[in-house]
Amino acid sequence: MSDTQSTSGAVRLDGKAIAEQVRMELAAEVAEFKAAHPTFRPKLVALQVGERSDSSVYIRQKAKACKEIGVEFEHVQLDEGIQQAELDARVDSINDDPAIHGLLVQLPLPAHLSTRHVVQSIRAEKDVDGFHAENIGWLSKRDGSPYFHPCTPLGCIELLKRYNIAIAGKRAVVIGRSDIVGAPVAMMLTKLDATVTLCHSRTANVEELVRDADILVVAIGQPEFVRADWVKPGAAVVDVGMNAVDDATKKAGFRWVGDVHPGAAAHAGFLTPVPGGVGPMTVAMLLRNVVASAKRHYAAASTVRIVPSVLNLADPVPSDIAIAQAQASALKPIAQLGGELNLAPRELEPHGRHAAKVTLDVLDRLDGMRNGHYVVVTGISPTPLGEGKSTVTVGLAQALYAHLGRAAFACVRQPSQGPTFGIKGGAAGGGYSQVAPMTAMNLHLTGDIHAISAANNLVAAAVDARRFHEATQTDAQLMARLCPPKRGVSQFAAPMLRRLQRLGISKTRPEDLAADEVARFVRLDIDPERIVWRRVLDTNDRFLREITIGEASTERGMSRRTGFDIA
C-alpha cells in the first residue's frame, strides 16, 4: 500500500509533504536567481499590532519558513494602542520601500482599528496575502490576472494539481463563502473550468449538492459538519477546517478536527488530513507569492517603459515659446513619469506638478544593475537657427528612445537667469527638442539656485554684521550676546567649545575665561581688505558687479568695496 493511501481507501492529500517540496523548489529558485543577480534580495515584512501569543507563533513560523528558502524577513511589532493614522503611516512607509516585496498584516487587529481599511491600504502589488480588493477583483474576471492569489485557496488548488486530480469539467462544491477561502477558491475552480456551486448558511439542499460533488472544499469552521455518508465515492475532499474539540484523553485537553467527518475517508478518493493538510500549504503559497513578487519587482526595476508624448508638428515651425505654450496642456504629470521609470514614490520629491528631484537612495537600490553608456555633448557652436548643446542633447535623447527604443536620459544643467534674460536666451533646448515646461525650467525649476543664493548671501551678511558688532561693542557685550544666560546660567554651545579647543583653551564654562581669553574667543578680527566672499544674484545685473557697501550713517564708517557674482 502506498504511504499516501489510508487504511480506509482514500489517498491522503499530504499538505505537509507537498509544502516541504514547494519550499525546496523555492529555495533552489531563489538561490539560482541570486547567483545570476547578486543584488536580488527578496524581503517580506509582517506587521503585528499588539502581543497576541497566537499571532506571535504564526509570525515565528513564517520567519522560519522565509529563512529556509533565502527570503529576508522583518517583524514589525507595534503597540496595541496605536492609532489608525499612525498605523496608516507605517503601512505607507512599507508600501513605498522598494526593498520590500511583500507586506502582511497579522490579523486580528484590535477593535479600535479598521481591518478592512488596513488591508485595502496595502498596495496590491505587495499584498502577498492576496486579500486586496484589486487582487480579488482581477481574480473574479475570466481573463483577469491578479498580482497574487489568496494563499489558502491557492494551497487547495496546488494540492489538487500535485495529486493530478482532474478539475476541468468536474462538479465542484465549495461550502463557505468567506473572503479568505470560500469565495476565492470558488472563483479559482471556475477559472480552471470546473462547474462550481458555492454553498453558505442559507443554502437549503447542502447534503444533496455534496453527494453530487466530484471535488469538495469545506471551510466553515464547524466540527465535522459534512457527514461521512454525504461524500460521493471517489470524490476529492479538501477540508480547510481546523476546530478544537474537548478530549480528556489528550494532554492538552482537546484535539483538532476538521469540517468533514473523518469517516469520509471510507468514501472519498482523496482527503486532506487535519492537521497536516491545508495549513502547511498556506505558508508555502505565501512564500511562493513573495518570491514571485520579488522577481517581478526586480524585472520592473531594470526595465523602462516611457510613453512618449505626442508632438503635433506645425509647418512652418513656430517659435520656441509658442511650442512650449502649445504643449503646456498636454504635459505628463511628473508622478506618472516617475512610475514609468520604476521610481518608488519615496524616491521622488515633487516640486509642483511637472518637476521633481530624485533622491540619491535610488543609486543604492540600482547598484547591482548594469551601467549604461555616457555620451557627452560639448564644444558645439550654435547654428544660425540656435541649435547648440542643449538642443542637440535633448534631440539625441528623443531619438534614442522614441525612435530606437533605447532608454535615454538627457542631463542638462539648470539655466541661469543671467543668460536667459540676455542675448543668449534660455538653456532648455529649442524647437521640438526642448525641456518642458520651458518657463519653469529657465526661471526656477526646483528652486535650488534661489536656495544657494540665499545661503551664500546669508554668509556674506553674517561676515559684515560680525565686523560691525566687533567694532561697536566691548568684549563683555559680545560675550553676553554669544552666551546669553538662561535661568541665570550661561553655557557654551557645541560649536563654541570646538572654537575654544582650536584656540587652545580647555575651559568649558563662560565664567571661567580670563579677560584675554574672552577677547580671543569673541573677536574674529576680520580684515576687510582680505574678504573675498561676495554676494550673488541669478540675474545678470552689470551695475552690481562692483559696489560699495556700508554707506548708511548707522554703519559708522564700515564701508568697503565688494560686488555680486552670478549665482
The set of long-range contacts for 228-231, using a CB threshold of 8 Å and a minimum separation of 24, is 228/261, 228/262, 228/263, 228/264, 228/266, 228/267, 229/267, 230/264, 231/260, 231/264, 231/267, 231/268
Residues 6+ apart with CB under 8 A from 139: 130, 146, 149, 184, 187, 188, 191
Give tens-digit pLDDT for 242-252: 898 888 888 88
Q: 2: pLDDT confidence band, cut at 50, 70 and 90?
A: very low
User: Can you give the pTM of this predicted structure?
Assistant: 0.78
| 166-218 tens-digit pLDDT | 999 999 999 999 999 999 999 999 999 999 999 999 999 999 999 999 999 99
Pick the catalytic residue: 14, 97, 127, 129? 129
Q: How confident is the model at residue 421 (pLDDT cuts 50, 70, 90)?
A: confident
- The answer to whether 167 touches 188, Cβ cutoff 8 Å, is no
- The mean per-residue pLDDT over the stretch 404-413 comes to 88
Is 214 labeled as catalytic in the residue annotation? no
- Name 80's Cβ contacts closer than 8 Å, sequence gap at least 6: 49, 50, 51, 110
Task: Work out the pLDDT band at 324, boundaries 50, 70, 90.
Answer: confident
Which of 43, 48, 106, 389 is an active site residue?
106
- Has 170 been annotated as catalytic? no
Strand 243-246 vs strand 254-257: parallel, antiparallel, or unpaired?
antiparallel
270-298: pLDDT as tens digits: 999 999 999 999 999 999 999 999 999 98
Task: Assess whether pLDDT exceeds 60 at residue 1.
Answer: no
Give the confidence band of 132 by pLDDT, cuts at 50, 70, 90. Answer: very high
Rounded-to-integer distance, Cα 519 and Cα 411, Å: 51
pLDDT at 369: 76
Check: CB of residue 211 under 8 Å from CB of residue 180. no
User: Which pLDDT band holds residue 419 (cuts at 50, 70, 90)?
Assistant: confident
pLDDT of residue 284: 96
Per-residue pLDDT band at 534 (split at 50, 70, 90): very high
Residue 5, pLDDT above cutoff 50: no
Residue 439 has pLDDT above 60, yes or no: yes
pLDDT at 283: 94
Name the percent of the chain lying above pLDDT 70: 98
Whether the predicted pLDDT of 3 surpasses 60: no
| pLDDT at res. 291 | 97
- Calculate mean pLDDT across residues 326-350: 88
Give the amino acid at 165.
Answer: I
Q: What span, in angstroms and rounded, lies between the C-alpha atoms of 119 and 113?
A: 11
Quickly state the pLDDT bin for 423 (edges 50, 70, 90): low
For residue 99 the three cell numbers come to 526593498
pLDDT of residue 414: 83
Query: What's residue 443's pLDDT?
Result: 84
Lowest mean pLDDT: which of 4-8, 212-216, 279-283, 368-372? 4-8
Averaged pLDDT, 381-386: 72
Instruction: Check residue 119 and give its pLDDT.
Output: 92
Range in 144-148, 251-255, 303-307, 503-507 the model is least confident about: 303-307
Q: Which residue has the higher pLDDT, 305 or 153?
A: 153
Does pLDDT of 90 surpass 80?
yes
Q: From the candidates 14, 43, 48, 62, which is the catalytic residue?
A: 62
User: What was the pLDDT predicted at 8?
Assistant: 57
Letter for the amino acid at 87?
Answer: L
Q: Which amino acid is at 16?
A: K
Q: What percent of the chain has pLDDT over 90?
A: 65
Average pLDDT value for residue range 397-414: 88
Residues 181 and 70: their CA atoms lie apart, in Å, by: 28
Q: Chain-wide mean pLDDT for the chain?
A: 90
Strand partners, 226: 260
Grade residue 50 by pLDDT with cuts at 50, 70 and 90: very high
Q: Where are the alpha helices (DSSP H) in 352-473?
A: 361-365, 389-398, 417-420, 438-443, 448-472
Is 232 catalytic? The answer is no
